[in-house]
């Protein structure tokens, strides 16, 4: 009895399994095959794409080299500029005053050196000799007066105040005589070589200060280092700037490129010289053609911003430079899509 019941259950299970396999088996296997085929097909046909930004190969960010107040900005966005053209003028009143002071100090030190190298004039020696003689006469008179007051004081014929006054005058005239005689001896012997060397060193210091002040003055006029176009004007007249403050961005529109980033999963799939197709939302339907000309060896965090709010920056990318056959219509800073052809 038990064996019959077991046999009935086994037969029922086999029948149910066969029915289920007949109904759902083809659908299950077709999905598996379809997925495998689709995956292989996508891998075979997929092309590497990335976002890129149009930029100039020759781009300059002008910055202030000094702190001060902007007096004038002589170019606006979109204006063409020439190399050496003054673009931003800063107030240089204090710098000009420093230049004049440095020039005066250098001039005085040079005149002093010339006097030392020429040596004393005969007229100067005679003047010094006359001064020494007069100083000696005056000192002797003051000395005699002091000795006279000293004798009178011992006889109580004069006051201590008069004695001290005579003594003070004698000391003053003694110093004057010493100075006059020293000056005469210096002129007779001529200037010593060490004094001339000291004067030369002073000239060198003052000359260096003058040159530095003159070079610093030039920093108050910020000129264009390239032929190009003003891409951005970041400061206006009247604003206060510090050293390093950005003033103006310049680009050379004749030397453009595309800077693109491919994700690290695509590293190795793009080669130097590889052909590309570039499209822009600004010109739908238009395709620009060009080639990869530089692939950076390192992989870094994604730097380019996109308008996709779902785009993640927590990915690593490799930077690519692309040169197009024609950049007509594309502007500095525009975002484009790059498709790397096989």
The per-residue pLDDT for 34 is 37
Average pLDDT on 120-128 reads 79
The per-residue pLDDT for 201 is 95
Residue 263 C-alpha from the chain's centroid: 32
Give the C-alpha separation, 274 to 291, whole Å: 5
The per-residue pLDDT for 124 is 79
- Give the model's confidence band at 116: pLDDT under 50 very low, under 70 low, under 90 confident, else very high: confident
Average pLDDT on 16-31 reads 53
Cβ neighbors of 193 (< 8 A, separation 6 or more) are none
Closest to 226 in 3D by CA, of 258, 245, 254, 259: 254
The per-residue pLDDT for 228 is 94
The per-residue pLDDT for 22 is 55
- Mean pLDDT, the chain, rounded, equals 85
Is 90 exceeded by the pLDDT of residue 3? no
- Give the model's confidence band at 242: pLDDT under 50 very low, under 70 low, under 90 confident, else very high: very high
How confident is the model over 32-87, as pLDDT tens digits? 433 433 333 334 446 899 999 999 998 999 999 999 999 999 999 999 999 999 99
The per-residue pLDDT for 32 is 44
The per-residue pLDDT for 117 is 79
- Give the model's confidence band at 9: pLDDT under 50 very low, under 70 low, under 90 confident, else very high: low
Burial 100-139 (b: 16+ CB within 10 A, else e): eebbebbeebbeebeebeeebeeeeeeebbebbeebeebb
Write out the chain in H/E/C secondary structure: CHHHHHHHHHHHHHHHHHHHHHHHHHHHHHHHHHHHHHHHHHHHHCCCEEEEEEEECCEEEEECCCCEEEEEECCCCCCEECCCCEEEEECCHHHHHHHHHHHHHHHHHHHHHHHHHHCCCHHHHHHHHHHHHHHHHHHHHHHHHHHHHHHHHHCCCCCHHHHHHHHHHHHHHHHHHHHHHHHHHHHHHCCCHHHHHHHHHHHHHHHHHHHHHHHHHHCCEEECCCCEEEEEECCCCCCEECCCCEEEEEECCCCEEEEEEEEHHHCCCCCCCCEEEEECHHHCCCCEEEEEEEEEEEEEECCCCCCCCCCCCCCEEEEEEEEECCCCCCCCCCEEEEEECC
The per-residue pLDDT for 15 is 56
How many C-beta neighbours within 10 Å does residue 72 have? 14
How confident is the model over 178-216, as pLDDT tens digits? 999 998 887 777 656 778 889 999 999 999 999 999 999
pTM: 0.57
In the chain, the percentage of residues whose pLDDT exceeds 70 is 82
Alpha-carbon distances of 137 from 131, 132, 134, 148, 171, rounded to whole Å: 10, 9, 5, 17, 14
Does 143 or 2 have the greater pLDDT score? Answer: 143
The per-residue pLDDT for 41 is 39
How confident is the model over 262-310, as pLDDT tens digits? 999 999 999 999 999 999 999 988 999 999 999 999 998 877 665 555 4
Give the C-alpha separation, 139 to 292, whole Å: 97
Is 70 exceeded by the pLDDT of residue 172? yes
């Amino acid at each position: 009895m038990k064996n019959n019941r077991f046999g009935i259950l086994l037969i029922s299970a086999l029948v149910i399994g066969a029915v289920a396999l007949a109904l759902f088996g083809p659908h299950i296997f077709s999905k598996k095959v379809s997925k495998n085929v689709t995956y292989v097909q996508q891998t075979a046909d997929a092309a590497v794409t990335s976002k890129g930004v149009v930029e100039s190969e020759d781009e300059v960010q002008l910055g202030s080299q000094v702190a001060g107040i902007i007096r004038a900005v002589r170019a606006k966005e979109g204006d063409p500029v020439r190399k050496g053209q003054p673009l931003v003028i800063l107030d240089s009143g204090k710098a000009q005053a420093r230049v004049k002071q440095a020039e005066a100090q250098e001039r005085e030190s040079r005149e002093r050196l010339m006097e030392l190298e020429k040596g004393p004039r005969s007229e100067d020696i005679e003047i010094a000799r006359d001064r020494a003689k007069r100083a000696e006469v005056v000192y002797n008179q003051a000395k005699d007066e002091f000795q006279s007051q000293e004798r009178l004081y011992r006889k109580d014929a004069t006051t201590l105040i008069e004695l001290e006054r005579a003594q003070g005058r004698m000391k003053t005239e003694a110093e004057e005589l010493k100075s006059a005689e020293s000056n005469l001896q210096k002129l007779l012997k001529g200037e010593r070589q060490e004094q001339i060397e000291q004067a030369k060193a002073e000239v060198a210091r003052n000359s260096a200060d003058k040159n530095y002040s003159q070079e610093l003055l030039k920093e108050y006029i910020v000129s264009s280092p390239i032929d190009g176009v003003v891409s951005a004007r970041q400061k206006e007249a009247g604003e206060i700037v510090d050293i390093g403050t950005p003033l103006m961005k310049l680009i050379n529109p004749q030397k453009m490129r595309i800077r693109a980033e491919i994700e690290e999963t695509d590293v190795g799939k793009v080669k130097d010289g590889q052909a590309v197709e570039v499209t822009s939302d600004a010109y739908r339907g238009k395709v620009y053609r060009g080639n990869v000309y530089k692939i950076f060896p390192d992989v870094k965090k994604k730097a380019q911003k996109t308008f996709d709010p779902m785009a993640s920056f927590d990915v690593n990318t490799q930077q690519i430079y692309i040169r197009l056959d024609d950049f007509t219509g594309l502007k500095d800073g525009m975002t484009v899509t790059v498709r790397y052809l096989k």
